[in-house]
Amino acid sequence: MTGTQRAKLFDEAFLRRLEALELASRRLTAGRMKGERRSIRRGQSVEFADYRNYSHGDDLRQLDWNVYARLEKLFIKLFVEEEDVTVHVLVDASASMDFGDPNKLDFARRAGAALAYLGLANLDRVSVAFLGDGHAATLRPLRGKSRVFEVFDFLAAPRPERLTGLAQAARDYAARLKGRGPLVLVSDLMDPGYLDALRDLAGTRCQLSVLHVLAPEEIEPDVAPDARLVDRETSQSIDVTGDDDLVERYRTRLAEWQDEIGTFVARRGGSYVAVPSDLDLADLLFDVLRRRRVVT
């Protein structure tokens, strides 16, 4: 892949700006090696956190003798422990995503690349996958900014998937998931099993964020008086009569659908963000996701 092709996927002009951000991870992580993220779990590191009373069997090396000299009481020093974090970026690659102007899949690739770069720049382990046809096509976990073009190449490659099979694909990824941390799903959620998929991803105990991507024409449709709507994945069609009432009922159902998903994700401790595919990537990262605490 040439540098020009990569630039189409990801605007390298604001790489330095991206390095000032990181994906939020509000839950405890359980990595086996020490990494760059700070956990509120108490362990051994260089950053002091608090004291607690001495209990029989505690490591005497952690006693604060200066406090004992002043108070004649034994206290154990507690420290903030650095934890290893894995960032998971999942992109829906089904045929319904290959739609819209701007194209939803192109937007999802670029957003996924930017989010993966945040993890690499912060020395987190990064796992990237495409979801489609009922399985997860994954890139092996990577760490460090030197691996960024491997991520870009993977995300820019043509995808053969047609059907979503989102529930099965999410279950496939969740079953093979290694390492906890932020998990971001970028999808239009146009699959009957979307709630099952979100339930399985939230069940990994990662910090789930859902970027619900819709094209402008899906948000504000322009339906002809006599129209045939065709499902891009199943090729099933339905004839409709386009009028103001139809469009208004569509808007109402869309809002109800988004509210349903947002409530479902929030109840599982995650973040839901509805994203139009014509949103500028910088606005997404530095404004929208910051306000929603997906990035900090």
Chain center to CA of 199: 14
Query: Mean pLDDT score of the chain, rounded to an integer?
Result: 85
Whole-model pTM: value is 0.80
Q: Decide if pLDDT at 56 tops 80.
A: no
The confidence score (pLDDT) of residue 72 equals 83
Q: Tokens 């030197």, residue?
A: 146
Q: Decide if pLDDT at 84 tops 70.
A: yes
For CATH 3.40.50.410, the residue range(s) in the chain are 3-28+84-291
CATH of domain 3-28+84-291: 3.40.50.410
Q: Decide if pLDDT at 160 tops 70.
A: yes
Higher pLDDT, 85 or 224: 85
Q: What percent of the chain clears pLDDT 90, i.e. is strictly above it?
A: 57
Residue 199 banded pLDDT, cuts 50, 70, 90? very high
The whole-number average pLDDT for the span 81-87 is 74
Lowest mean pLDDT among 25-39, 159-173, 215-229: 25-39
Give 204: exposed, middle or buried? Use CB within 10 Å, 0-12, 13-18, 19+. middle
Q: Decide if pLDDT at 97 tops 60.
A: yes
The confidence score (pLDDT) of residue 246 equals 86
The whole-number average pLDDT for the span 7-31 is 66
Q: Decide if pLDDT at 26 tops 80.
A: no
Q: Which distant-in-sequence residues (6+ apart) come within 8 Å of 287 by Cβ?
A: none
- Give per-residue burial for 105-137: e unless 16+ CB within 10 Å, then b: bbbbbbbbbbbbbbbbbbebbbbbbbbbbbbbb
